[in-house]
Every structure is written in C-alpha cells, then in structure tokens.
Chains A and B, each alone.
Chain A
Amino acid sequence: MPIEILMPALSPTMEEGNLSKWLVAEGDTVSSGDLLAEIETDKATMEVEAVEEGVVAAILVKEGSEGVKVNTPIAVLLEDGEDKSAMDGYTPGVPAAQTASPKPEPEPAIESKPAAKPDTTSQSTEQKGDRIKASPLAKRIAKDKGLDLSAIKGSGPNGRIIKADVEDLTSTPVDAPQAAPQSVEPQTDTTEVGMPRGGGAAYLEKLGITPGTYDLEPLDGMRRTIAKRLTDSFRDVPHFPLNIDCEIDDLLAMRKDLNTQTMEGVKISVNDMLIRACALALKQVPESNASFTPDGIAYHHHADVAVAVAIDGGLITPIIREAENKGLSLISMEMKDLAARARERKLKPQEFQGGTFSISNLGMMGIKSFGSIINQPQGMILSVGAGGPRPVVKDGELTVATVMSVTLSCDHRVVDGAIGAKWLQSFKRMVETPVTMML
C-alpha cells in the first residue's frame, strides 16, 4: 500500500509551511532517518526525515510551494517489493485512516497535529467572535463543572451549546487531572492560571505589548490543565536532569528484524521498544519507580508507563499499564490504539490518569536533547532526543555510530542522583544490547 508523507507540523502552532526544497527525487530509495525535504515555517527552516523505508513513488507538492497546509500529503512512498501498480487508483489523502494517523509508524509519543485542524475551523468559527451561543442551562452546568464554553462544540441550532453538549463532557479530559510532561512552549507567563477571561489584553498591555498586535486565543480546558499542572510541578518539584547517550544501531537492526516477523498489522516502532526498556529498567531499579507523598514515598509495584501524545490543542499521556509484563507486539498494538483515541479525545480517564513514569519523545522532530517537566506524582520522566550518526571513540578508534541522547528528569525528593544514574545505566544497557529486552 502506498505510504503518504504528510506535511509535518514542526511546531505546535504551525498550520502551514513552505516546501522550500526536496532532498530526494522520484525513484529514490529512502530509509528511515533519511532527509526528504526542507520545510520553511514562519519561524525556521527544518528538515523532514523519512520514518519509513521505501521508494519515492511520487512527489505531490512541488519544490517552492508556499502555504502548504499541515497534513497535506506531499509525497508517496512505496514499500519494498511494491511496484508502480500499487499506485493505481490511488488518490492522495483519500484513505481517511491514513490521514488520521499521519505517521503510521514513527515513535508515536508525539504525533503531528491531526488532519482535522483545517476541517474544524469552519465549525469553531461559529463559536468564535464575541458571543458564545449557549443555553442558560448549559452555561450554568458548565460553570458548575468549571468547563470553558469556548472549547465546546454546540449541537443545538446554529451551533448553540445545549445541556447534552456539556453533560457529555464530564468524561473528557477537560477538567480531569492529566499528565502533561514536556512543555512544548517555554514556561513564560502562563503561570497566571485562573485569571479572568478578558484580562488578557489588559495584562499584556501592562507588560508593554500593544493591543491589536496579536490574536488572543481563549484558554480551553486542556490548556488550563496543562498550565496549572506544569506550573505546580515546576514550582513544587525539585527537578534535576541526567543525560546519557545510547548507541542504537543494534536496536534499529533488531527492530527491522522483528518487523519482518511480526503478525499482520503490527509494526514495532523505536518508541515501543523504548517503552519496554523503560519498564524493564523500572523493574530492575525498583527504588526509582516512586512517588513523593506528604506521608512517605510510595514505591509502585508496576511500571505504568505514560507516553506523551501531542493532540490538537494540547497533549495527553495515555498509559501502558504494567508495561514490564508486556511484550513488544502488545505494547505496539496498545500504543497504536491509545494514540488514535487520544487524538479523537476519546480516552477514558483511567487510560490517562495514574501512570508511575512518563516518556516523551521529540526525536522525530530533530530535537537532539531536551528536559521535560515531571508529571506529578511520578518521580521521573524521560526525554528522548533524535538518533543520528555521530562520531564515537571505540577501543581508541574514532568511528561512527547511531547515537540517541536521552535526559532523565528526576524528582529529587524521591530519586537521588545515584538512583537516577543507576536507572539510566539499566536503560542504556537494554537499548544498546536490545536482546536483553527479550529476556
């Protein structure tokens, strides 16, 4: 089946970009990690990496195209063994399932924004503007529940928000405590959580920013939760980072190998393997699988690994429960399902609340290394950077290996430096000698 390469969202706010340069041509064979194209956004120029191997069958968006919407198919890959006939009857963007999961196989911790974005604008504009149409009853229920009406889609006449719309929302993550590990935006002044709406302009004006020179997007429930929880964590938890480099050539080779043998529909990603490595490391270093409480330190019996998934308007961390007891195929399948439902905001609270550890991966966006904010009450969060060829010294010789840098943020109240380091060693051993993961 042809694989679509979609216009990636290179920043959380990116809606479109310019395709400045193609680095491959039709007919080229590419493998995972190869650079495909250069994309220019209002902020920067970035390179798009291949996440699948295959042959470039068609380039759909010409070099120099401007204003290409995020998630527009820009090229099509054919998998090994497929010939051009696989393209017969193929129309870019048609298979809905593919558009919905823009990168079928990359480390799924962070997905680019779903394709829904351009489609929803027409609906959400109905509710933008000064007045939110909502029934008095819906307003009151929303107020009681602390829901933000501007984030809710109305099903009544002309998009009016009615009781059923706000009642339905109790099960969505909007006001549930939720994980939000790595903050994609720097923590600036979003600490002003709970400031009355409409205070935005006055607030900025005091700080010297002229009204009218920006668009003020009201905070929705998810954004409020992210702001609140990360502010709390950043203020209350004594964070410290630990870095380590891992060579992942063996891991990549094993993944390639495994994927030739998995059952139909299962394709193990690097991230799936990292989830398992994390879980096993937590098991090997049980003192690191801990939470601080005012009455004592809770040592968790299982490694419930929360995985950060970027979704439209924020992020959420679905959890692989007891990941230490799950094989790669199962982790992969669960992750695929959780990530898909996370993007539709259809996770049940128990699916994203209550992990014991988090992992956040920005590798596919070319981030070399970064540190995440701890997702309370978890004791640690792992930030995974991009893997790429780097010079290393082995036995006194300079050589090249695929190296991935990871950063472990620890809550010093429960995880001291030595414990964190022990965990990273365990993790590194697993990643560099992936066969140990199979034990």
Chain B
Amino acid sequence: MSAKENQSFDVVVVGSGPGGYVTAIRASQLGFKTAIIEKDALGGVCLNWGCIPTKALLRSAEVFENMQHASNYGLSATPGFDLEAIVKRSRGIANQLSSGIKFLMKKHKVTVFEGFAKLEAGKPAPRVIVDGKTLTANHVILATGARARTIPAAGLEPDGKTIWTAKEAMIPQEMPKRLLVIGSGAIGMEFASFYNAFGSDVTVVEMVDRILPAEDAEISTMAEKAFKKKGMRILTNTQVGNVKPGGSTVSAEIAGKAETFDRIILAIGIVGNVEDMGLEKLGVKIDRTHITVDEYSRSNVEGLYAIGDVTTPPWLAHKASHEGVICIEKIAGENPHPLDANKIPGCTYCQPQIASVGLTEAQAKEAGHKIRVGRFPFIGNGKAIALGEPEGLIKTIFDEKTGELLGAHMIGAEVTELIQGYTVAQTLETTEKELMETVFPHPTLSEMMHESVLDAYGRALHI
C-alpha cells in the first residue's frame, strides 16, 4: 500500500469498543461499505480493560468466597488462591473476546485499520487520516470512548506503582495489604469488592453522603451495610488530599489525618477521549471532554457523529452499542426512536450485586410523580434461601396515576441478570397490571420481581 493511499467508504467508525464495533456491524448489515479504526486492541476498554476482565476477576472472588462458606452447604474446601492465575484467566478471557471481534469484523466485511485517527475538514464528512492513509466517507462516527479521570494537581494521578487506575488494578502482581479506593461508583465498588474478598484491608472514600450515589438511597444504605459487614471501611462525606507516593507505599490525608496504604485506586470518574484528533480545528462542540450531540448522535459538524462514552452520560457499554445502532439506522433513513436515558439499566458487580433502571424514589418525587413503591426482600424468596443468599431487596416505583414503571432498584445475588425483565417491561410500556398478570417461574429469584410489583399495590403474597 502506498503511503498516500486514498480509500473511500460509506461509513468510517473510529474506535472499536462496544459502541464502535456494534455500529460497524449494523452499518454493514444496512449495506454500507464500512471501515473501523482502532489504535489498540479490538473491543476497546470494555472488552480489554473494563467490563469483561473485571467480571472475570469478580467471578474468582465469588467462587473464593463460596469456598470459604463451603461448610454452610455441607461441603469442605481448603480455600486458597493464586493471584497470577486469577489475572491470567482474566487476561485470557479478554484476549479470547478480542479475537472474537476480529472474526465479527471479517464476517461482516468491515475493513479494520490499526492506528490513531485524525480528522480533517471535508465534505460530506470530515476526512480520516490513519496510518498514512486518507479515508473519505459520507459519515464518520466517533466512538473513541473515555479513560479514568485523574487530578494531577491533587496527586490523584497514577504512577504505575502505588497509585492505580482501573487498568493497573486489573493486573495486580500482589495483593495490597492496605488498599484505598477513592470514589464509590460502580468501578470503585467493584475493585473494593474484589480486593476485599482476597483479604486486603479496604478503605473506600466517597465525597458525597453515600456510596453508589447514582443508585436509589435505600439501595446505597443496604450496600454500605453489606460492605461494612464484610469488613470494608467506608467513609462518606470525606475527601482525600495530599496523596504522596513513598517507595512501596503511598500516604494520603483522609479527613485531615495522614494514613499509609500499599495501593490507591482512583475511581473518580472518567474523561472523554477527545484530544489529538483535530476536533478543535473542525470546530466540534465539546463540553467538558464530551462531544455534544443531538438525539441521533449528530455532532455540530456535518457528517460527523459521536456515540458512547465520548458523548453524554450514562457512560455504559450497552448505551454506546444502542446509541450506535440508532445513529446508523437514522443515517440509513430508518426511523429509530431516540434513546431514552431512563430506560438504560445499570449494573454493578460487587458482592452483593446491584442493578437498577429508571428513576430513583427521590428522582421520581422530584419529577412530580405521585408514586407507589413496592419492596420485596430476598428473605421471603424460596430460591434465595436455597441459594444461601437471603440478603437483598427488589424495589419498584410506579406512577400512581398511570401505572408506569418509573424505576426498579435491586440489590442481592444475581440481580444484574434480573433487571432486564423490568427494562423489557418499560420498553413495552406495560403498567403494573400486565406485570401482575405475568407468570414468573417457581422457584426463581425472579418471583421477587413479581412480588415487588404486587407489594406496590398492597398485594404481596409472601410477606
């Protein structure tokens, strides 16, 4: 290939995370000649350094915890672990899935370019320069994702040794004895959970008044209780300052008092990957590292779109994928519904698991809804007892007038697999009536979803 080679496509997708690669597949299905550009490994952060490898780690933690409680089930086991093997398994799974994406791209005839993309002004869409080649397209979709937020001025910056972001925390060489997790969102709590399970003394510091601040307050409270019971130290309404690495340890000031840790994990949010691509020169509208787009992911520059973490929240893989599909279907002249942020579920894979969709109780009230709230605890569910998982809650929030399912919030075993039932219900716009009429199989955890709905109308059966 010559250095100045020109290639033209209908659609060029920049970034191959769950937003980008799904968009590329859908584009190809719709008959577009499609290219995708990746600077690193196919699959992006989600698949290589995020969702998937952490789930692999957390699975190890879960099995380890179960081993420790083997006697509860009439079993005996000598719990022990090999950190290197745990990490190796996690990396192996990431690699396996990344090659899966390679196969998917080939199958759907999506041309893959390796390298860092830069954009130049052009019509009908900006030109894309990658690896010395100029790609022209009618539509360029940015799916460049995001990375961990750091605050160098406050010392909140990874040094690769004692101060980690999620990426370093995913490939530990040894278990830190004392671990400080800064930030109690989904990422922070998952790592806190993982390291706590393998014996680290974990301290979680959260700036606001409760952990998992995006969740319903009731769920946050239950989660905090559960984590504390597992031995975690949780400090809310607290700030960390004066972080100083000191050889093999790191010191930090918590609530004015200096403490020493072996490692610190920064989980203080994300920033969009918008730099060095020439976006400023194109005049792309960017709001605090995230590209401003309309409901069909169109940026303010003609022919340029953005989806996923590089745009507006929620910053979730499944949101990126869905957004990409809507974006490309709209381009193809189809008539997709814009994404309703309220119908995007969120899952946190700590122990206990947390899953939710829609409005929290406080948000629903704030939005002016007169609500009905249903609750059903795991202790009332046969399957939960049989599993040895009697702790947890399923909470549902309905609009009293219309019966609309405004939100659902769950904590407990396997709730991340349950939440989809409610998202289907929300998308189909069922009311409490259809949910009540639905037959849930016995014995399953899902029965609690039914009971929670019944409870909202004073009709719960098993409580």
Point out residues on A near B: beta carbons under 8 Å: 135-138, 140-141, 144, 155-156, 162-163
Q: In the bound complex, what is the Cα–Cα distance between A156 and B336 (angstroms)?
A: 9
The reply on B6 being an interface residue by CB < 8 A is no
Interface of A is mostly: helix
Q: In the bound complex, what is the Cα–Cα distance between A156 and B335 (angstroms)?
A: 10
Contact status of A144 and B429, CB under 8 A, knowing A136-B434, A155-B337: no
Q: In the bound complex, what is the Cα–Cα distance between A138 and B429 (angstroms)?
A: 8
Contact status of A136 and B337, CB under 8 A, knowing A141-B402, A144-B401, A144-B402: no
- Give residues of chain B (389-437) contacting chain A, Cβ–Cβ below 8 Å: 401-404, 428-431, 433-434
Nearest 10 pairs of A and B residues by beta carbon: A135-B429, A137-B429, A136-B431, A137-B404, A136-B430, A140-B402, A136-B434, A141-B402, A137-B431, A163-B429
* Further 19 A-B residue pairs, CB within 8 A, beyond A135-B430, A137-B402: A135-B428, A135-B429, A136-B403, A136-B428, A136-B429, A136-B430, A136-B431, A136-B434, A137-B404, A137-B430, A138-B429, A140-B431, A141-B402, A144-B402, A155-B337, A156-B337, A162-B429, A163-B404, A163-B429
Q: A141 to chain B: which residues have CB within 8 Å?
A: 402
Q: Which residue of B is nearest A155, CB measured?
A: B337
Q: In the bound complex, what is the Cα–Cα distance between A46 and B428 (angstroms)?
A: 51
Q: B429 to chain A: which residues have CB within 8 Å?
A: 135-138, 162-163
- Shortest beta-carbon distance from A188 to chain B in Å: 37
Give 18 A-B contacts (CB < 8 Å), ordered by A residue.
Answer: A135-B428, A135-B429, A136-B429, A136-B431, A136-B434, A137-B402, A137-B403, A137-B430, A138-B429, A140-B402, A140-B403, A140-B431, A141-B402, A144-B402, A155-B337, A156-B337, A163-B404, A163-B429
Q: A140 to chain B: which residues have CB within 8 Å?
A: 402-403, 431
- Shortest beta-carbon distance from B221 to chain A in Å: 30
Point out residues on B near A: beta carbons under 8 Å: 337, 401-404, 428-431, 433-434
Q: In the bound complex, what is the Cα–Cα distance between A15 and B436 (angstroms)?
A: 47
Question: Are A136 and B401 interface neighbours, CB within 8 A?
Answer: no
Q: In the bound complex, what is the Cα–Cα distance between A141 and B434 (angstroms)?
A: 15
Q: In the bound complex, what is the Cα–Cα distance between A313 and B403 (angstroms)?
A: 32
Q: In the bound complex, what is the Cα–Cα distance between A138 and B401 (angstroms)?
A: 12
- Shortest beta-carbon distance from A399 to chain B in Å: 64
Interface of B is mostly: loop
Q: A163 to chain B: which residues have CB within 8 Å?
A: 404, 429
Q: In the bound complex, what is the Cα–Cα distance between A162 and B429 (angstroms)?
A: 7
- Shortest beta-carbon distance from A149 to chain B in Å: 13
- Shortest beta-carbon distance from B432 to chain A in Å: 9
Q: Which residue of A is nearest B432, CB measured?
A: A136
Q: In the bound complex, what is the Cα–Cα distance between A155 and B338 (angstroms)?
A: 12
- Shortest beta-carbon distance from B403 to chain A in Å: 6
Q: Which residue of A is nearest B401, CB measured?
A: A144
Most buried by B among A137, A144, A155: A137
Q: In the bound complex, what is the Cα–Cα distance between A162 and B428 (angstroms)?
A: 8
- Shortest beta-carbon distance from A142 to chain B in Å: 10
- Shortest beta-carbon distance from A382 to chain B in Å: 44
Q: A135 to chain B: which residues have CB within 8 Å?
A: 428-430
- Shortest beta-carbon distance from B336 to chain A in Å: 10
Q: A137 to chain B: which residues have CB within 8 Å?
A: 402-404, 429-431
Q: A162 to chain B: which residues have CB within 8 Å?
A: 429
Q: In the bound complex, what is the Cα–Cα distance between A77 and B66 (angstroms)?
A: 87
- Shortest beta-carbon distance from B63 to chain A in Å: 42
Q: B431 to chain A: which residues have CB within 8 Å?
A: 136-137, 140
Q: In the bound complex, what is the Cα–Cα distance between A135 and B430 (angstroms)?
A: 7
- Shortest beta-carbon distance from B401 to chain A in Å: 7
Q: In the bound complex, what is the Cα–Cα distance between A135 and B401 (angstroms)?
A: 16
- Shortest beta-carbon distance from B264 to chain A in Å: 46
- Shortest beta-carbon distance from A85 to chain B in Å: 35
Q: In the bound complex, what is the Cα–Cα distance between A397 and B431 (angstroms)?
A: 78
Q: In the bound complex, what is the Cα–Cα distance between A407 and B404 (angstroms)?
A: 52
- Shortest beta-carbon distance from B158 to chain A in Å: 44
Q: In the bound complex, what is the Cα–Cα distance between A230 and B180 (angstroms)?
A: 75
Q: Which residue of B is nearest A143, CB measured?
A: B402
- Shortest beta-carbon distance from A154 to chain B in Å: 11
Q: In the bound complex, what is the Cα–Cα distance between A163 and B426 (angstroms)?
A: 11
- Shortest beta-carbon distance from B445 to chain A in Å: 25
- Shortest beta-carbon distance from A373 to chain B in Å: 36
Most buried by B among A136, A140, A141: A136
Q: Which residue of B is nearest A134, CB measured?
A: B429
Q: Which residue of A is nearest B428, CB measured?
A: A135
Checking A136, A144, A155, A156 against B433 with a beta-carbon cut-off of 8 angstroms, the contacting residue is A136
- Shortest beta-carbon distance from B338 to chain A in Å: 10
- Shortest beta-carbon distance from B396 to chain A in Å: 15
Q: B430 to chain A: which residues have CB within 8 Å?
A: 135-137
Q: A138 to chain B: which residues have CB within 8 Å?
A: 429
Q: In the bound complex, what is the Cα–Cα distance between A140 and B434 (angstroms)?
A: 12
- Shortest beta-carbon distance from A89 to chain B in Å: 27
Q: Which residue of A is nearest B399, CB measured?
A: A137
Most buried by A among B337, B404, B428, B429: B429
- Shortest beta-carbon distance from B436 to chain A in Å: 11
Q: A155 to chain B: which residues have CB within 8 Å?
A: 337
Q: In the bound complex, what is the Cα–Cα distance between A155 and B429 (angstroms)?
A: 13
Q: In the bound complex, what is the Cα–Cα distance between A137 and B358 (angstroms)?
A: 16
Q: Which residue of A is nearest B426, CB measured?
A: A137
Q: In the bound complex, what is the Cα–Cα distance between A138 and B430 (angstroms)?
A: 9
Q: B428 to chain A: which residues have CB within 8 Å?
A: 135-136
Q: In the bound complex, what is the Cα–Cα distance between A163 and B403 (angstroms)?
A: 12
Q: Which residue of A is nearest B433, CB measured?
A: A136
Q: B434 to chain A: which residues have CB within 8 Å?
A: 136
Q: B337 to chain A: which residues have CB within 8 Å?
A: 155-156
Q: Which residue of B is nearest A162, CB measured?
A: B429
Q: Which residue of B is nearest A135, CB measured?
A: B429
Q: In the bound complex, what is the Cα–Cα distance between A162 and B430 (angstroms)?
A: 10
Q: In the bound complex, what is the Cα–Cα distance between A187 and B313 (angstroms)?
A: 57
Q: A136 to chain B: which residues have CB within 8 Å?
A: 403, 428-431, 433-434
Q: In the bound complex, what is the Cα–Cα distance between A162 and B402 (angstroms)?
A: 13
Q: In the bound complex, what is the Cα–Cα distance between A136 and B435 (angstroms)?
A: 11
- Shortest beta-carbon distance from A185 to chain B in Å: 36
Q: In the bound complex, what is the Cα–Cα distance between A387 and B175 (angstroms)?
A: 97
Q: Which residue of B is nearest A157, CB measured?
A: B337
Q: Which residue of A is nearest B404, CB measured?
A: A137
Q: B401 to chain A: which residues have CB within 8 Å?
A: 144
Q: In the bound complex, what is the Cα–Cα distance between A156 and B431 (angstroms)?
A: 17
- Shortest beta-carbon distance from A264 to chain B in Å: 32
- Shortest beta-carbon distance from B453 to chain A in Å: 13
- Shortest beta-carbon distance from A179 to chain B in Å: 30
- Shortest beta-carbon distance from A184 to chain B in Å: 35
Q: In the bound complex, what is the Cα–Cα distance between A141 and B403 (angstroms)?
A: 9
Q: In the bound complex, what is the Cα–Cα distance between A65 and B429 (angstroms)?
A: 49
Q: Which residue of A is nearest B430, CB measured?
A: A136
Q: In the bound complex, what is the Cα–Cα distance between A123 and B5 (angstroms)?
A: 48
Q: In the bound complex, what is the Cα–Cα distance between A137 and B429 (angstroms)?
A: 5
Q: In the bound complex, what is the Cα–Cα distance between A118 and B126 (angstroms)?
A: 41
Q: In the bound complex, what is the Cα–Cα distance between A144 and B404 (angstroms)?
A: 13
- Shortest beta-carbon distance from A147 to chain B in Å: 13
